[in-house]
Amino acid sequence: MNGLIQTETIDLSYDSIFLDDNLGVHMICVPLAISSTPETQMSFELAMKSLICEIIEKAQCQQDEGIISLYQDCREGMNSSDDIFLNLKMKKYSTGVNRGNARKIRLVGITNGQNLIIDMAECILGKSPEYAHKVIEGSSSVSRKHCRIFWMNGQFYIEDMGSLNHTYVNGSIVKNGEYIPLQAGDVIQIADLQYEVQ
């Protein structure tokens, strides 16, 4: 709805969705010169919801409560795409990472003594409480949004968020766009601060 690409001209077939090596999702959009009508908008919305349901069915992840909620919202006709996108932003469909010890890790501060519990589907770490879920203390070298730790496919991963002073795992830099799996005993370095994963 940005005025550049009409949503109803996007091909929403399952074969038009592509994943890169880092599991980033991409779609190829070719704008077409057709008129936008309430009927074409409705058609797009139905196709989008159907595609989301098809992806969930093929991924076989229906056992997760958040995914089940997303699936039901797409299947039921009462929820508009705007409602679904708002729920995504509000993390209504989060994957429930805070349930059970297997989906929780602790970062024990080696250099600053700060301990952090990560029990969210996605946790941004940085020095600014305005941008980060967990605020890193003890260094001005940490960026406002420094890195994120997230749960995916039964595993926690870490990703640098374009920080000035970088993120490292066991001494190796986390490159831009790279997701590094985390294991107990790993040492994460955020700028000049080190944490052990437990």
Are 106 and 19 in a shared domain? Answer: no
Are 109 and 83 in a shared domain? Answer: no
Structural domain harbouring 192: 101-197
Tokens at 20, concatenated: 């890169």
Long-range contacts, 51-56 (Cβ 8 Å, 24+): 51/12, 51/13, 51/14, 51/17, 52/84, 54/14, 55/14, 55/17
**Residue 32 pLDDT more than 50?**
yes
C-beta neighbour count of 58 within 10 angstroms: 9
SS3 85: helix
Tokens at 117, concatenated: 């519990």
Are 113 and 49 in a shared domain? Answer: no
**Please, what is the end-to-end C-alpha distance for the chain in angstroms?**
45
pLDDT of residue 182: 95
- The stretch 24-43 carries a mean pLDDT of 64
Residue finishing a domain among 69, 89, 109: 89
pLDDT of residue 97: 42
Are 105 and 193 in a shared domain? Answer: yes
Are 29 and 105 in a shared domain? Answer: no
SS3 sequence of 140-182: CCCCCCCEEEEEECCEEEEEECCCCCCEEECCEECCCCCCEEC
Helix (H) / strand (E) element for 123: namely strand 122-126
**Residue 31 pLDDT more than 90?**
no
The CATH number of the domain where 164 resides is what? Answer: 2.60.200.20
Residue 56 lies in a domain: yes
pLDDT-derived band of residue 19, with 50, 70 and 90 as boundaries?
low
| Structure-model confidence comparison of residues 90 and 23, the more confident one | 90
pLDDT of residue 14: 66
| Structure-model confidence comparison of residues 74 and 160, the more confident one | 160
- The stretch 137-142 carries a mean pLDDT of 95
Q: How far apart are CA 14 and CA 5, in angstroms?
A: 20
Cα 160 to Cα 48, 58, 94, 151: the distances in Å are 31, 30, 21, 15
Are 105 and 192 in a shared domain? Answer: yes
Residue finishing a domain among 40, 55, 89: 89
Are 106 and 157 in a shared domain? Answer: yes
Give the count of domains, the chain.
2
**Residue 94 pLDDT more than 80?**
no
pLDDT-derived band of residue 144, with 50, 70 and 90 as boundaries?
very high
Residue 59 lies in a domain: yes
pLDDT of residue 158: 96
Highest mean pLDDT, choosing among 6-10, 39-43, 60-64, 149-153 = 149-153
Are 72 and 132 in a shared domain? Answer: no
Residue 152 lies in a domain: yes
Helices 38-59 and 65-75, interaxial angle, to 10°? 150
- The stretch 170-181 carries a mean pLDDT of 93
Residue 45 lies in a domain: yes
pLDDT of residue 93: 72
Residue 119 region by backbone torsions, left for phi larger than 0, else alpha for psi between -120 and 50, else beta: alpha
Residue 132 lies in a domain: yes
Residue finishing a domain among 34, 64, 89: 89
State the chain's mean pLDDT as an integer: 80
pLDDT of residue 100: 41
